[in-house]
Each structure stands twice: as structure tokens, then as C-alpha cells.
Amino acid sequence: QVQLVESGGGSVQAGGSLRLSCVVSGNTHNNYCMGWFRQAPGKEREGVAAIDSDGRTSYVDSVKGRFTISEDNAKNTLSLQMNSLKPEDTGMYYCAARLWCQVLRGLFPPIGGSDSWGQGTQVTVSS
């Protein structure tokens, strides 16, 4: 079982930056995918960025060139650097992990409800 705790959310103006962090505990078995998801009020949850244990990444088109996902294995931390934020980036951001998973051909991995999830951190971008 993997436990995830997010932090780093907040309120910023459009064009600003935030860095989200997710501390990971538990055994990932060195073969996993981790991802950041977001959900805005009245909208479905969407995958934003993902990375696997070999460092392959995937991003939703709307954040390419603005967001960067990374991991610090020494600190057991997953991060999401968000630059040039837009009001449409507003939402609750969740960190998630799926074991025995890979990012293949740049496609977003199948991280779903049965996998491990954090409690979320709110990001609000004002215009």
C-alpha cells in the first residue's frame, strides 16, 4: 500500500507559478506510475501529468510547456512545477500512484480509482 500526501497549493494571479509536492510512503516495488490529476467544480477529474519509474512522462495538451512533473527519489517526493498559470488551471489537485505501470509512447497511464490517492490540495488562479 502506498500513502500520498500533497502540499503546495494556494491562490495566485494568472501568469504566476506554484509548485506542488507529494510525499510518498510505502513500497512502490521500483515499477510504478505516478500522476497529478485535477478536478474543477462541476467537471470530471482529468489527468494533468504523469511519470513512471524510468522517468518517462506524459502531459495533457493544455499544460504542455507550462507544467513539469519530476520526482526526487532520495526524498520520496513527486513534484509538479506549474508556470504561466491560467484561471482554467483552477481546481483540486491530487497525487496518485499505480504499481506495475509504465508510460508508453507518451500516453497517459491508466491510473484509476482503485489505485492510491492523496487527499488533494487546492489551486486557485485568478484573472
Q: Quick check: 85 pLDDT over 80?
A: yes
- What is the per-residue pLDDT for 127? 95
Whether residue 28 has pLDDT greater than 80: no
Q: Contact 21/34 with Cβ under 8 angstroms?
A: no
Whether the pLDDT of residue 78 is over 80: the answer is: yes
120: left (phi over 0), alpha (psi -120 to 50) or beta: left
pLDDT band with cut points at 50, 70 and 90 for residue 83: very high
Which residues 6+ apart lie within 8 Å of 42 measured at CB? none
CA–CA separation, 89 and 122 (whole Å) = 11
- Spatial distance between the Cα atoms of 39 and 70, rounded to a whole number of angstroms: 21
Q: SS3 helix, strand, coil % of the chain, rounded to 5?
A: 5, 50, 45
Judged against a pLDDT cut of 90, whether residue 30 lies above it is answered with no
pLDDT value for 74: 84
Nearest alpha-carbon partner for 36 in 4, 83, 72: 4
Residue 23: pLDDT band with limits 50, 70, 90: very high
| pLDDT of 31 above 90 | no
Per-residue HEC secondary structure of 51-84 comes to EECCCCEEECHHHCCCEEEEEECCCCEEEEEECC
- pLDDT of the residue at 114: 86
